[in-house]
Amino acid sequence: MTKNWLNYFQDILEKQKKANLFRELKDFKQGQDLYLHIQNKKLLNLASNNYLGLHKHPLLKQKSQELLDTYGTTAGASPLVSGRFQEVLELENTLARFKKTEKSLIFTSGYTANLGILSSLADSRTIVFSDKLNHASIVDGILLSRAKLVRYRHLDMEHLAWSLEKYKDHPRKIIVSDSIFSMDGDIAPLNTLVQLKKEYAALLMLDEAHATGIFGRGRGLAHHLKLEQEVDIHMGTFSKALASLGGYVCASKPIISFLINKARSFIYSTFLPPAVIGANLAVLNLLEQNPGLGERLLSLAHNLRRFLQELGFDTGNSSTQIIPVILKDPEKTLRAQKFLEEKNIFVPAIRPPTVPENTSRLRISLRLDLQDREMEQIQEAFKELKKVLC
Ligand SMILES: Cc1ncc(COP(=O)(O)O)c(C=O)c1O
């Protein structure tokens, strides 16, 4: 490497460090379990998106093992070549039935799903209206499409309506929003999004990554609000509450067919391995048999949020299993993370650029396998944290 490049890397990293924004990989063990291990310390895990704690469920492991035994370790090719086996078709059909759409399509991750959907449905003659706090994969998909990106203020439907009005004569418009925002745990105003998409003849795409498994008997926010028929593109992932891997899109036949033909992250990538497809099939079955899992988690979250608010913590507009504790300053947030680690609880500090400047926060991801004694431990630790931060 030349000295030029070395200096360039070192400069940027030095700036990150000075701003308390430097990131380092930690050596986690069992980062998906209720307790994880870092440097020989066992910590209660409030960092994972494994919200329902289903990762060791016997039915998921059994189906995963069954497909591993039948097909081996790899899909061997991209889906249009030879990577799509019988159970993938079964998964697509089960998912479409579960989400009540005509068709579905599976991608290798939620990230590649968003990349593929947006970069193919939109082009330089499309305008995409996107909530300012939408997930990075949505933003990247739009950038890749070369569409005009119009960002509206977070959850601000007046701003969205104003922006749509400005471009009302434009023939191709897409509105895209997370249904639950990953760093804030707040909820998109889906009723108004639907109203606006109809008024301005736009396509509506909803990213249900954090609502899948939790809201609407596991089907997501659109189902919870009985608006599933109004959303044109339901996107989600198996990687969070569903304890596996793989992005999905559920939509009408023409949209799915369009994606099969145009979505480059679908066409040009080796498909998910059989073991993953097995877990995905099993988890959908499990959700159909146990529709109340998400509700129970939301009730746990409601109680903890109220407790934190009574202590005087700012939990933003969260009303889900994701609870931010907004401390604003990145250094203070890192200090809070460290304090909680000393209390044997791991809650990650989230800082810019993942969240906007001056909104650094602890991000609590609640999970269904937490027992009463652990909830008490969390409450006790935050009580003490409050005293230390004052
Ligand atoms: C809102 C949202 N969409 C998409 C993704 C990407 O999903 P995956 O982790 O399956 O790639 C995430 C994950 O962080 C997310 O939070």
Which residue's CA is the closest to the ligand 1 atom numbered 16? Answer: 182
The rounded Å distance from CA 109 to ligand 1 centre is 8
Give residue-wise pLDDT tens across range 115-173: 999 999 999 999 999 999 999 999 999 999 999 999 999 999 999 999 999 999 999 99
Choosing from 50, 106, 112, 182 the residue with most ligand 1 atoms within 8 A of its CB, the one to mutate for a pocket test is: 182
Q: Would you say the CB of residue 131 lies under 6 angstroms from ligand 1?
A: no
User: Which residues, other chains included, contact 186 with Cβ-Cβ below 8 Å and sequence gap of 6+?
Assistant: 155, 180, 316, 317, 318, 319, 320
**C-alpha to C-alpha distance for 166 and 123, rounded to whole angstroms:** 19
pLDDT of the residue at 287: 98
Asked if 157 and 199 touch (Cβ cutoff 8 Å), the reply is no
Ligand 1 midpoint to CA 113 (Å): 9
* CA 121 / ligand 1 centre spacing (Å): 19
Is the CB of 110 within 6 Å of ligand 1?
yes
58-289, which class in CATH?
alpha beta
Q: Nearest Cα to 70, choosing from 90, 86, 89? A: 86
Q: What are phi and psi of 29, to 5 degrees?
A: -120, 135
Distance 103 CA to ligand 1 centre (A): 21
The answer for residues whose C-beta is within 8 angstroms of residue 137's C-beta and 6 or more apart is: 110, 111, 112, 113, 114, 115
Please report the pLDDT score of residue 28 as a whole number: 87
Could you report the per-residue pLDDT of 12-45, keeping only the tens digit for each?
999 999 988 888 888 889 999 999 999 889 999 9
* CB atoms inside a 10 Å sphere around CB 227: 17
Give the alpha-carbon dihedral of 100, 101, 102, 106, to 10 degrees: -110
Cβ-in-10-Å burial (0-12, 13-18, 19+) of 188 comes to buried
Rounded CA separation 62/269 (Å) = 27
Domain boundaries, the chain: 22-51+292-389, 58-289
Helix (H) or strand (E) holding 68: helix 58-71
Nearest Cα to 352, choosing from 27, 38, 133, 75?
A: 133
**Fold (CATH) for 22-51+292-389:** Aspartate Aminotransferase, domain 1 (3.90.1150)
In the DSSP assignment, the letter for residue 214 is T
Identity at 374, one-letter amino acid code: E
Write out the two tokens for 232.
């044109």
Q: Provide the β-strand partners of residue 149.
A: 128
N- to C-terminal Cα separation, the chain: 48
Long-range contact set of residues 146-151: C-beta below 8 Å, sequence gap at least 24: 147/118, 147/122, 147/123, 147/174, 148/124
pLDDT at position 21: 80
Name 42's bridge partners. 37
Q: How far is the CA of 2 from the centre of ligand 1 (A)?
A: 36
What is the chain's Cα-based Rg? 21
Q: Could you tell me what percentage of the chain is helix, strand and coil, using 3-state DSSP and rounding each to the nearest 5? A: 45, 15, 35
Each of the 390 residues of the chain gets a pLDDT tens digit; together they read 999 999 999 999 999 999 888 888 888 899 999 999 998 899 999 999 999 999 999 999 999 999 999 999 999 999 999 999 999 999 999 999 999 999 999 999 999 999 999 999 999 999 999 999 999 999 999 999 999 999 999 999 999 999 999 999 999 999 999 999 999 999 999 999 999 999 999 999 999 999 999 999 999 999 999 999 999 999 999 999 999 999 999 999 999 999 999 999 999 999 999 999 999 999 999 999 999 999 999 999 999 999 999 999 999 999 999 999 999 999 999 999 999 999 999 999 999 988 999 999 999 999 999 999 999 999 999 999 999 987
Paired with 168 in beta bridges are none
